[in-house]
């Protein structure tokens, strides 16, 4: 099947996929112009790709494939989004995340845990400990506590926690 016409399915992909594909073929980032990254290929040609958060249009992808001396189907196969027959769509793989508790009680528990750990670190620092890992742990705990407090403020304000 040639991949054209009614029987084919073209799964959309993002600009980041195209950028990785171009870089994998030897492209070196040259400049950002408007909403496109421009890459210089080893043979001197320039190839453009949309920013990473945008879908790649089929017209643009055909132009990129042509500039890389590939057929459209070869390029789709190489990028990992091959032209597929109708009904053979790739299943979406979604990572399951554990629901994050954002209630007042869980936030207060996190803050109190962070406070206890900070007190331990404070006593270690006051006793003269110069271990760099103590400082790194302290900074990590401060970040966690700050995030927990911000989530609690968002929940209290009625905003949805991220």
Q: Is residue 93 part of a domain?
A: no
Q: Specify if 99 maps to a domain.
A: no
Domain around 44:
8-85
22 and 65 both lie in a single domain: yes
Query: Is residue 134 assigned to a domain?
Result: yes
Average pLDDT, integer, range 133-145: 74
| pLDDT at site 130 | 66
Per-residue pLDDT at 120: 76
Does residue 144 belong to any structural domain of this protein?
yes
List the CATH number of the domain containing 78.
Answer: 3.30.920.30
Q: Is residue 29 domain-shared with residue 67, that is, in the same domain?
A: yes
Query: Do 79 and 109 share a domain, yes or no?
Result: no
Of 58, 85, 112, which one is at a domain's C-terminal end?
85
- Please, what is the average pLDDT of the chain? 75
pLDDT digit string, tens, across residues 8-43 = 567 777 888 888 888 888 889 899 888 888 899 888
Tell me the mean pLDDT in the region 146-154: 74
Q: Are residues 73 and 23 in the same domain?
A: yes
DSSP secondary structure string, the chain? --S-STTEE----BHHHHHHHHHHTT-EEEEEETTEEEEE-TTS-EEEEE-TTSBPPHHHHHHHHHHTT--HHHHHHHHT---EETT-PPPP-----PPPP-SHHHHHHHHHHHHHHHHHHHHHHHTT---HHHHHHHHHHHHHHHHHHHHHHHHHTTPPP-
Total structural domains within the chain? 2
Q: Band the pLDDT of 162: cuts 50, 70, 90.
A: very low
Does position 2 have pLDDT exceeding 70, yes or no? no
**One domain, residues 63 and 124:** no
**Per-residue pLDDT tens over the stretch 64-116:** 888 888 888 888 888 887 776 655 556 666 666 655 556 666 767 777 777 78
- Decide if pLDDT at 153 tops 50: yes
């Amino acid at each position: 099947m040639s991949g054209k016409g009614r029987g084919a399915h073209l799964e959309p992909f993002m600009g980041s996929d195209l950028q990785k594909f171009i870089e994998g073929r030897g492209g070196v980032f040259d400049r950002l112009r408007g909403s496109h990254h421009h890459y210089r290929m080893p043979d001197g040609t320039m190839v453009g790709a949309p920013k990473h958060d945008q879908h790649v249009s089929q017209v643009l992808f055909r132009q990129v494939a042509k500039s890389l001396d590939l057929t459209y189907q070869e390029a789709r196969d190489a990028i990992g989004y091959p032209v597929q027959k109708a009904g053979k769509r790739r299943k979406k793989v979604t990572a399951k995340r554990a629901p994050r508790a954002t209630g007042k009680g869980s936030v207060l528990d996190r803050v109190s845990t962070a406070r206890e750990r900070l007190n331990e670190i404070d006593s270690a620092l006051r006793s003269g400990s110069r271990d760099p890992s103590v400082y790194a742990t302290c900074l990590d705990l401060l970040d966690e506590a700050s995030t927990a407090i911000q989530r609690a403020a968002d929940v209290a304000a009625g905003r949805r926690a991220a």
